[in-house]
Amino acid sequence: MGDKKYSINKVGFPDPLSSESHKETKTFGLEVQKAIEGEWFRRYQGDCKYYGNRAEHHRLRLYARGEQPISKYKNEIAINGDLSHINLDWTPIPIIPKFVDIIVNGMEDRLYSIKATSVDKVASDSRNKYITEMEKDMLAKEMLMQAKNELGVDAFVNDPKTLPRNNEELEVHMRLNYKQGIEIAEEEAIKVIFEDNDYDDIKKRITYDSAVLGVGFGKHDYNSSKGIVTEYVDPSNMVYSYTESPYFEDCYYFGEVKKVPISQLKNYNPNLTNEELEIISNNSSDWDNYHNISRGGDDNFDDHTVNLLFFNYKTNKELVWKKRKNKRGGSTVTKKESDWNPPTEKLRGSERISRNIDVWYDGISVLGTDIILRWELLENMVRPKSSTNKALPNYIACAPRNYNGTIESQVRRMIPFGDAIQLTHLKLQQVVQRVVPDGVFIDADGLNEVNLGDGNAYNPKKALELYFQTGSVVGRSQTSEGEFNHGKIPIQELSHNSGGNKIQSLITVYNYNLQMIRDVTGINEARDASMPDSRTLVGVQKLAALNSNTATRHILNAGVYITKKLAEALSYRISDALEDPIHREKFIQSLGRANVSILDDMKDLHLHDFGIYIELSPDAEEAATLEGNIQQSLAKDQIYLEDAIDVRQIDNLKLANQLLKIRRKSKLEEDMAKNQHLSQTQTQSAIAATQAKLQASMKEIEAKALAQIQIDTNLKQLEAQNTEHEAKVKETLMIKEFELNMIIRGQDAVITKNKEEEKEDRKDERTRIQATQQSKQIKQREVNGKPINFESNEDSLDGFNLSEFEPS
């Protein structure tokens, strides 16, 4: 450049409506590079956006390491710049590094898994078919089970033991148990690529940058020798278009500045001449001088290095096809250049079809020169199949606290209070240095008045030895003249408290600034490894830790976002790699070590389109809450131990709780069914017992009835027989009676006849007796004789004498 003063001017970006042929030229790429230079590297009022941003990042990183410059502290302590009377330890206190480590390390233990869901039509149709078959089995389960049990025909498409019972269980089943082979292949492929590129280390650096700088960058690319790669990108080296989005999705250019040796420039452009290399070397020093960058130093290659800008620029590209009808009524489509227009006169019936798509150009330029090492359409652009007009950049970024282009970080919030803590620490050193230790006052006149009596003088040395060894001191209340001795206590302790209040005040200021760091970052005592208050309840401490995690959740989300976007980009790149016949088999075989069974699925991977999402493992608090729910459910016998094991194996906390609810509900329904079955069994047993008892009673009654019937029958038979016999007996008796009656009647007739005859005879006798008596009465009246005794003199009736029956 000679003595010509180097300068950078602000210029605009080239016309995006330029022809495709112009966009492909290095002239267009140089215009883009100059526009980026004017925006990021132009010095305005002594400042440069790129190097100012880089210096700010350097400052934040020094604070995050506890290595910030101490000059500002010396200026605060010094008097007119003089530090000759001060002897302090200027080493910065690593307070800010402690909080940075708490944030970063607390997030690095969060395990995650990458989930891929195929969203293309083939996979969606397969998934819908599976759901339909599952729903059919669910609806017809009872009928199919009956057919299986009674007819021996198994018409189930799915295992009836694992069939969901409702839509909620079906949803959980699909998320937990249903996985297409192509989705497993995709997940394994992304996992292997991340492992090959040591993405866990990359992720740690991105998380650290998000906490310290407030922004993290990652990069994905396809290298012909290495294949698909992921890289960490230092935000200090990045340039990008203005954006207010925390996800940088509206940026139309990204750039990365790298300092490389001049000898490696031909690796990027083998056609460079020695003259061009000489120009680059000369302009490199002018670039450093323009930005006040010192050369030399400890880097032996600094004088032979140049700053290269690796940049991607997004523009649109018009795809043009010629559509012409053929003789058969159909049409043919032929791809044409973007500036092609159908000549209406010669080719009638031809039609121009066009479509605009996003494309990224890849460029490498030497900063400070007009030399473009590379400018070409980016190979293997990441383009989602669901939106083929959109292309993703190679850089993925996230700044969760981005506003108007200004990025806020946790370290930036802590710096004012970290500086105050450092100054307080230095002030404490000063106060401690000036604190005077406690001493003693010795009254020499009082010692002179003391006589030990042994002839030895009571000098200050002996007095101090006696005082420090025994705590006692010898004195005299009177002088040798007998007067009052004002020095009767020759040794008195001197207590100094000049620095105590100052030290306590400085400690209070120290604790205040420490608490302010906790307040502005949200990292409270429950999380920053401080000793919590013993009076604080455990639940309150856990809640405080959870709130602290919530305060820094945006940093975790930033890392998850970058991981998710990188996984999506890798998913698209895998499809592109499989379409390349050169790398296809090599790529498939490199993935084969993960799972041989996925090789067949991998061969069709490029035909599918996937949705990628990140599944975070629960943190300690979430895991403890879930475990508490599990233990409570186990204690109440609401789930089985196998259910608890299944729930613990799920990383998705929401899904784990959902499964826990389903298993609890299932266990409740199962217990209700068991209780109902037990109740039914008991009822059936009771009914059976009752029925048996009733049957026994019925049998007993029947037996009794039969016996009674038999008895009654026998009785009736006996009665009939008795009746018949009685009839016969009666008949016989009647005959006998008749015969007897006839006999009796005959005898009665005889008796009656005899009686009548006897009666007549007696009548005749009485008549005769009466006549006799009357005759005698007449004779007695006639003779007036004695009374006549008409009784028989012979006690006999009709000559029958009764005296013969008297006892002898």
Read off the pLDDT of residues 104-132 as tens digits, 9 standing for 90 and up. Answer: 887 766 667 788 777 767 777 777 787 88
Residue 72 lies in a domain: yes
Q: For residue 276, is pLDDT > 60?
A: yes
Same domain? 373 vs 243: yes
Helix (H) or strand (E) holding 441: strand 439-442
Clarify whether residues 260 and 352 are in a common domain.
Answer: yes
- Give the distance, in angstroms, between the CA of residue 506 and the centroid of all CA atoms in the same chain: 45
For residues 494 and 528, membership in a common domain is answered with yes
Domain boundary among 518, 534, 551: 551
Do residue 319 and residue 261 come from a single domain?
A: yes
Can you spell out the DSSP letters for 323-380?
Answer: EEE-TTS-EEEEEE-TT----TTTSTTEEEEEEEEEEEEEEEEETTSS-EEEEEEPTT
Residue type at 72 in one-letter notation: K
User: Among 407, 441, 471, which residue terminates a domain?
Assistant: 407
The CA distance from 8 to 188, in Å, is 49
Residue 773 near residue 765 (C-beta atoms within 8 A): no
Query: In this predicted structure, what is the pLDDT of residue 2?
Result: 38
Which residue in this structure is represented by tokens 């950078």?
8
**Number of domains composing the chain:** 2
Q: Are residues 238 and 363 in the same domain?
A: yes
Closest to 106 measured CA to CA, from 523, 595, 583: 523
* Contact assessment for residue 485 and residue 492, using Cβ atoms and an 8 Å cutoff: no
Q: Are residues 296 and 226 in the same domain?
A: yes
Q: Categorize the per-residue pLDDT at 413 as very low, low, confident or very high, splitting at 50, 70 and 90.
A: very high
Residue-level pLDDT at 201: 92
Residues 270 and 402 in one domain: yes
pLDDT tens track for 494-538: 776 667 788 889 999 999 999 899 888 888 776 655 555 554 444
Do 400 and 419 fall within a single domain?
no
Q: Is residue 804 part of a domain?
A: no
Token reading at 639: 């789930």
Query: Are 289 and 422 members of one domain?
Result: no
Residue at 575 is within a domain: no
Residue among 672, 650, 673, 675 nearest 660 (CA): 650
Q: Domain for residue 711, yes or no? A: no
pLDDT at 796: 47
Whether 516 is in a domain gets the answer yes
SS3 401: coil
The predicted-structure confidence for 156-186, as pLDDT tens digits, reads as follows 777 777 777 777 777 777 777 777 777 777 7
As beta bridge partners, residue 238 has: 256
Shared-domain flag, residues 365 and 324:
yes
Q: Residue 38 belongs to what domain range?
A: 20-111+202-407
Among 262, 268, 266, 364, smallest CA distance to 303 is for 262
Rounded-to-integer distance, Cα 173 and Cα 183, Å: 16
* Percent of the chain's residues with pLDDT above 70: 82
Which of 504, 523, 551 is a domain's end point?
Answer: 551
CA max distance for the chain: 233
Strands 216-223 and 800-801, sheet pairing: unpaired
3-state secondary structure of 231: strand
3-state secondary structure 621-677: HHHHHHHHHHHHHHHCCCCCHHHHHHHHCCCCHHHHHHHHHHHHHHHHHHHHHHHHH
Q: Is 305 left (phi over 0), alpha (psi -120 to 50) or beta?
A: beta
User: Is there a domain that residue 94 lies in?
Assistant: yes
Are residues 371 and 445 both part of a single domain? no
Assess whether 223 and 343 both reside in one domain.
yes
Nearest to 35 by CA among 241, 223, 216: 241
- Three-point CA angle 303, 308, 312, nearest 5°: 170
Interatomic CA distance for residues 686 and 695, integer angstroms: 13
**Mean of pLDDT over the chain:** 78
Q: Is residue 63 part of a domain?
A: yes
State CA 725 to chain mean position distance: 103
C-alpha–C-alpha distance, residues 191 and 102, integer Å: 28
- Could you give the 3-state DSSP secondary structure of residue 220? strand
Whether residue 540 is contained in a domain is answered as: yes
